[in-house]
């Protein structure tokens, strides 16, 4: 297979991953495949070992509705027709027939090794948000859709655990970190803009979960800029600094 790059977004929900993923796809004129793990999960193409059984689309009629939308999407229809035993291989084969790369916004890192095993070059982009505003945003989101809200202590431990885990990728792969508070400087925060030229392809949005049909530029007025003392301590614990434009 010719050289193929996957821009893989890791981070927690409500951390800016939807905007960052779509921004990369638009800037490089490649396909935004969206939350690939969640798409495969809904189509029963991957084993669900994450223990996340309370999402909006996990079971019942909602899952059937989402599966129907995925099946009727032209891009995913082609992928599903080739999936055989390895859906990631099918996804890469379909994408590589037209693009030199794709964006995967799964947020969980379970797909990184799958792409590497297929010979893909993987760029890890870690989106993160100060704990105080992340907790408030996540709580509002879960209330909106009638989902249970974990207690603050559990959210705090999860925040530290996952972000420290994702931060370790800076020592393994090409890696960029994008704090939500610095989204207005996104072009300075991403490593590869001066290095990667995909070619004469066209952007396509095949996102099925985060924000299907998402469009529009970043509005700095919507970004969180308030960072409390606790937030700064937690950023230090997970190894992220807000003092400079570049956070590698």
Residues 39 and 103: their CA atoms lie apart, in Å, by 14
**Domain count along the chain:** 1
Residue-level length of the chain:
248
* CATH number of the domain enclosing 145: 3.40.50
Res 246: pLDDT: 43
Q: What is the pTM of this model?
A: 0.89
246 inside domain: no
Q: Does 244 map to a domain? A: no
Write down the pLDDT at residue 56.
53
The half-sphere exposure of 173 on its side-chain side, counting CA atoms within 13 A, is 25
Specify if 108 maps to a domain: yes
Examine residue 245 and state whether it is found in any structural domain, yes or no: no
CA distances from 53 to 14, 58, 59, 93, 136 (A): 18, 6, 8, 30, 21
Structural domain span for residue 186: 5-238
Q: Is residue 58 part of a domain?
A: yes
- The pLDDT assigned to 58 comes to 60
C-alpha dist (Å) from residue 79 to 76, 82, 100, 193, 203? 5, 5, 16, 28, 18
Low-confidence ranges of the chain (pLDDT < 50): 51, 53-54, 194, 245-247
Please report the pLDDT score of residue 27 as a whole number: 87
The pLDDT of residue 162 is: 97
CB-based contacts of 106, cutoff 8 Å, min separation 6: 8, 9, 10, 35, 36, 37, 38
Give CA–CA dist 166/10, Å, rounded: 7
pLDDT given at position 127: 96
Q: Does residue 191 lie in a domain region?
A: yes
User: Tokens 């999407």 identify what position?
Assistant: 73
Tokens at 39, concatenated: 């798409």
Instruction: Kindly report the backbone phi and psi dihedral angles of residue 127, in degrees, each rounded to the nearest multiple of 5, phi listed first.
Output: -95, 140
Is 194 among the domain residues? yes
Q: Is residue 120 part of a domain?
A: yes
């Amino acid at each position: 297979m010719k050289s193929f790059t996957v821009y893989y977004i890791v981070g927690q929900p409500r951390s800016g991953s939807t905007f960052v993923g779509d921004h990369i796809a638009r800037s490089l004129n490649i396909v935004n495949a969206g939350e690939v793990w969640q798409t495969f999960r809904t189509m029963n193409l991957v084993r669900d070992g994450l223990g996340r059984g309370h999402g909006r689309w996990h079971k019942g009629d909602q899952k059937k509705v989402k599966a129907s939308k995925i099946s009727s999407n032209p891009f995913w229809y082609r992928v599903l027709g080739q999936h055989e035993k390895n859906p990631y291989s099918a996804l890469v084969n379909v994408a590589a027939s037209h693009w030199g790369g794709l964006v995967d916004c799964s947020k969980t890192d379970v797909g990184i090794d799958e792409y590497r095993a297929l010979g893909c070059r993987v760029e890890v982009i870690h989106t993160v948000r100060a704990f105080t505003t992340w907790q408030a945003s996540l709580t509002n989101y879960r209330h909106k859709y009638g989902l249970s809200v974990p207690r603050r202590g559990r959210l705090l431990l999860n925040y530290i655990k996952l972000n420290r885990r994702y931060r370790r990728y800076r020592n393994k792969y090409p890696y960029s970190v994008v704090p939500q508070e610095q989204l207005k400087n996104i072009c300075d925060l991403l490593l590869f803009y001066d290095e990667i030229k995909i070619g004469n392809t066209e952007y396509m949005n095949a996102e099925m979960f985060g924000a299907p049909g998402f469009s529009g530029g970043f509005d700095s007025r919507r970004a969180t800029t308030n960072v409390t003392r606790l937030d700064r301590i937690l950023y230090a614990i997970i190894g992220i600094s807000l003092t400079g434009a570049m956070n590698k």
